[in-house]
Structure 1
Amino acid sequence: MVASSFALALGIAALVANAAAYPIPAGDLKGRIDVQAHRGGLGLRTEESYWAFAYALEIGSDTLEMDTLFTKDGVPVVWHDHYIYPSKCTGDYVGDFINNLTLAQVKSLDCDLQLDDHPQQETHPGTKIATLEEVLELVNCYGDDGVTINLETKLDPTTPEQTWPVEKYLDLIPLLQKHALLERTTIQSFDWRTLVLIHDRYPAVPIVALLDDTTVVPDANGTYPWLGGLNLDDYAGDWVAAAAAIGSSVVSPVHGFPSNLTVNSPGYTPFTTEAVVDEAHELGMKVIPWTVDYEVTISKLLDDGVDAIISNYPERVLAVARQRGLSVGRVRNPSKPECLAKASE
């Protein structure tokens, strides 16, 4: 694909430009890194769209990272936001919450606008918000039996009126089973209530504890609403240990903050560190930082020993990891236009 080749060239060029600031030695690591396409790879395609997930499959991403929440009539759709942003969609229901819209109303929206901070995004007029079932069908249509899914449950314990209750997210499991994809799926969330519930009901399903510097601090009442009933004080503030305590297979922290900066930027504070990785590994968990878009930070995290990287630009992670001698990515999938038949439905 032309866009993919162009992106890879850009990634390699940026690698060279950043090498003086943070050395990237070739072939210094052995092993494998899991490349996760954030929302399908929104750097170059409309986020969470058929086009994005097809692109991620075609460039050889290991994992499709995606979000889900439920419409008013109880249908899980693949979308990041609780409500419809005018920067992403047009139509009668812009500004409404998805849990207040029926699937038919959601499908009436066109979500094909290019994001200002991602000028390389390829857009497709008439792009619709997909249901989770449609995305699972797309994955199966491509026939890549090794690709995995990292599915985020979207809800916020501080604004419960904006989404369905946590128990509704149990409905995701039979849908994944229906499409024979449960065994290739991890369930991730910032709201650890869903993780605790799913782990209790379906202990074989791997859960991923998402967090950042805002979700592991107490609120005004001294509680930790994001942590599924845990009090981080009981763990001496150790959020890695807290993630292990709820049965997480993976801890998934922000790479650093502000998250739009790089490891070389003034004012940047790393959040995912080698010490975090070492502790998580000792506790039997993998570490998957998000959302890592710049080669210099990708390289630093590989030095730290992370197990996977979530990125809006998976092709950049592929380029950096391959330069370092890592086994990375999957065999590129051929384009399959027939799998995109529902992209505008």
Structure 2
Amino acid sequence: MVTAVYSHPDCLLHVTPPGHAEQVARIEAVETALAAPDFAALDRRAAPLGDVADILRCHPQRYVDRIRAAVPEEGSVQLDPDTHVSPGSWNAALRGVGGICAAVDAVLAGEVSNAFVACRPPGHHAEVESPMGFCLFGNVAIAARRALDHHGLSRVAIVDFDVHHGNGTQDLLWNESRTLFCSSHQMPLYPGTGAAKERGVCGNVLNLPLAPETGGAEMREAYERVILPAVDAFQPELLLISAGFDAHLADPLAQLEWQVADFEWLTGKLCDLADRHCDGRVVSTLEGGYDLQALAASAAAHVQGLMERGG
């Protein structure tokens, strides 16, 4: 089998104000990197529009209605200090939801070995009723709930290696005993959550705060000591990844010091766990990463790692 990549031109129509970090050029950089000859074997699929019924597994109808009503006919509307919507934002957000849900369906059906969802806006900061940090809907949490409720899985693990804590995913799954949410992130840093003491109602949350200037060697030791054993013990039937590449040394929004090789190493380790427990079933979705060159190189290394297992 092969690795699938889900994307859609609608994700280019979510337009943020000039100078905004979460810009159209991010997805263009990733798509350019994945257009290289090394990625010719990818199964390229159009991300469908997400079903609101899937969103409602995590967000209430009143929140969905509020986001849709906020989308302007022209220009840009600011939802919080960091999060904006433009006329194309609703469809772009639905492509992110639809892409990751379709990826879960395809991986669980055995159509593809694993998948990467190259859509924007990202999702891991969106809380139950709050858009935050460039995010509108909690894509990876929605995908976890689809795997559990629609496909009948019993255990889904999520690993979030974005440099910012996935507060939204944590909020959406705080009471969900069938999931294990693990997040590594710089602390202190936006959004200010993610302390190790935050464990979820069922002990289903595992936070790994990392000090500024933490490099790859320290990250690898911390993962080997904390997150990888926890996922191994959980024995997931599906592994989801919130793949943010803003822990890279070059990223302008944080101060971790990872290199491309560190994302490659981490992808391999997560795939090892998926091979051990869930027949290699991995679905990864793009979160952060704001230096375009570092984002492109890191995302390419991540997808290359998935392809090595998917082939």
Which structure shows the bigger proportion of residues in helix conformation?
2
Coarse TM-score class (shorter-chain normalised): 0.3 to 0.5
Higher relative contact order by CA 8 Å / sep ≥ 6: 1 or 2?
A: 1
